[in-house]
Structure 1
Amino acid sequence: MRADRVCRPAGGRLIVDGVTLAPRAGETLGLLGPNGSGKSTLLRLLSGVLAPSSGVVVLDGRPLPRIPRKAVARRLAAVEQHAETRTELTIREVVALGRIPHRRAWTPASAADAQAVAAALEATGLTAMADRSWHTLSGGERQRAQIARALAQEPGELLLDEPTNHLDIRYQIDLMELVAGLAVTTVIAVHDLNLAAMYCDRLLVLRDGRVVAEGTPGEVLTPSLIGEVYGVRAEVTEGPGHPVIRFLRGSRPHPPGVP
């Protein structure tokens, strides 16, 4: 998968402005940036939900619009921030939706489908809850169910839009451990800089729809970049294999030249 100089306007301005992104096979690439920086829109361009106004997204060297949607769905799974349904479904039924691209219309689920659903439920800690109604779930439980649905799809590429939202600390860490350990190429929008530093192989930082930095967490997450992009002061120290960010009180950085 690759995005080459993609743009997407909204409300009279470019939400994504000339972004090039080329995740390496099997890596976890983190998208960072403040609210409104273009992370969600970029993920929707990568998934084909939105079309770029210029530039191109390609999969295996072919422009995404030229690939049949079902073929794309067999390769690429996406989890957006919010998912709702009025249909009465159990968690198991929601997760089983991930198998639709692998079946012909009106054919029953196979043993392979059932095995993929069971594995996805197990991986996300939902096996014991599998028969609960979607409408009884908390926000965090719904998020985990949507991630399980994406895993049941058995994709080669996985796109996740702030999947740790609504999750408590334990499940945030469990989820990031799971994602980082998958043998798939993952692009994940993350708000928590420390989680990004711990679990992402590389980071791409957006501000106002443009790329302002790209590289390993150690290369990207510096006090100066955090101050420039997020408008806060931070200390960055070296942890066990990754940088550790500590935000400082009175955290707005001083203007240039002011001590």
Structure 2
Amino acid sequence: MSGSGLAADRVARRLGGELVLDGVSLTPAEGSTVGVLGPNGSGKSTLLRVLAGVLAPSAGVVTVDGREIGDVGRRTLARRVAVVEQHADTQIPLTVRDVVGLGRVPHRRAWLAASADDEAAVAQALEQTGMTAKAGQRWQTLSGGERQRVQIARALAQRPRELLLDEPTNHLDVQHQFELLDLLTSLPVTSVVALHDLNLAAMYCDDIVVLDRGVVVAAGRPADVLTESLIMQVYNVKADVTTSPEGHPHVRFIRS
């Protein structure tokens, strides 16, 4: 994987005394979609939070255009990198448009009203995620899948260069999973996406990184990484890996 603006170099992170990430390096190519795979507890979410600057690495370094992420101002970083977490909730009675509008906060001075550019970014993000018709609806009335799409719209309204997403296809039906990943891979951004579904990763990711207990055990093109031996090693499941008519790996799990 070639260099890009956001990169991790031999990053480690301890949580509660436990080593959750151990020497992880990640340098996505500009404009690419990188999938982060691994079983529960492998460190996927922690890696995304370290990349976002939410957690500081215990060792190693995260850089943005060669600068250590800690030296980049929070406001500057928020304009640059957008994050979609697994779970988001609020008890404040916000509309869908209000939530998406939060993505414009890093671009505005405090207390100033939204500009025409802000309004255009929000409208575009709502349209991209298919949520325009629900713009005036209360956040609390939405289904889990709709909330996920609104959070992605908020991130898109930020107009980031890098987009970090933690299990964005959770709560979405198959059609919306495809629509979401079609959208993400069409955007002129660098995306790092934590995924559970190996076949979605094979279909949509330019590169994948596989974590196991905080260590990168494989990285590269899906066709090179998603092998039967790797799946057995990491997931302890037998699999039959073939090539789809579209040319990407297709994983079929085998019950023992």
**What band does the TM-score fall into relative to the shorter chain?**
over 0.9
What are the residue-to-residue correspondences of 1:1-259 with 2, within 5 Å? 1-239=6-244, 240-250=246-256
Q: Aligned partners of 1:21 and 1:182: how far apart in 2?
A: 20
1:35-77 deviation per Cα after TM superposition (whole angstroms, max 9, x unaligned): 0000000000000000011111000110011111000000000
Q: Structure 2 counterpart of 1:155, which letter?
A: P
Q: Aligned partners of 1:62 and 1:10: how far apart in 2?
A: 25
- Offset, 1:182: 0.8
Q: Aligned partners of 1:236 and 1:118: how far apart in 2?
A: 42
Q: Aligned partners of 1:98 and 1:72: how far apart in 2?
A: 13
Q: Which runs of 5+ in 2 are unaligned?
A: 1-5
The ranges of structure 1 where at least 4 consecutive aligned residues each deviate by more than 6 angstroms after the TM superposition are none
Q: Structure 2 counterpart of 1:18, which letter?
A: G
SS in 2 for 1:36: coil
Q: Aligned partners of 1:129 and 1:241: how far apart in 2?
A: 37
Q: Structure 1 counterpart of 2:93, which letter?
A: E
Q: Aligned partners of 2:235 and 2:131: how far apart in 1?
A: 35
- Offset, 1:12: 2.5
- Offset, 1:170: 0.6
- Offset, 1:113: 0.6
- Offset, 1:13: 1.6
- Offset, 1:84: 1.0
1:101-126 deviation per Cα after TM superposition (whole angstroms, max 9, x unaligned): 11111111011111110110000010
Q: Which runs of 5+ in 1 are unaligned?
A: 251-259
1:136-189 deviation per Cα after TM superposition (whole angstroms, max 9, x unaligned): 111111111000000000000000000000101111110010111111000000
Q: Structure 1 counterpart of 2:19, which letter?
A: L
Identity across aligned pairs (percent)? Answer: 63
SS in 1 for 2:31: coil
Q: Structure 2 counterpart of 1:213, which letter?
A: A
Q: TM-score, normalised by structure 1?
A: 0.96
Q: Aligned partners of 2:232 and 2:182: how far apart in 1?
A: 28
1:197-247 deviation per Cα after TM superposition (whole angstroms, max 9, x unaligned): 000000000000000000000000000001110110111111112111111
Q: Structure 1 counterpart of 2:12, which letter?
A: C
Q: RMSD of the TM alignment (CA)?
A: 0.6
- Offset, 1:89: 0.2
Q: Aligned partners of 2:204 and 2:62: how far apart in 1?
A: 25
- Offset, 1:11: 2.9
Q: Aligned partners of 1:86 and 1:74: how far apart in 2?
A: 26
Q: Structure 2 counterpart of 1:245, which letter?
A: V
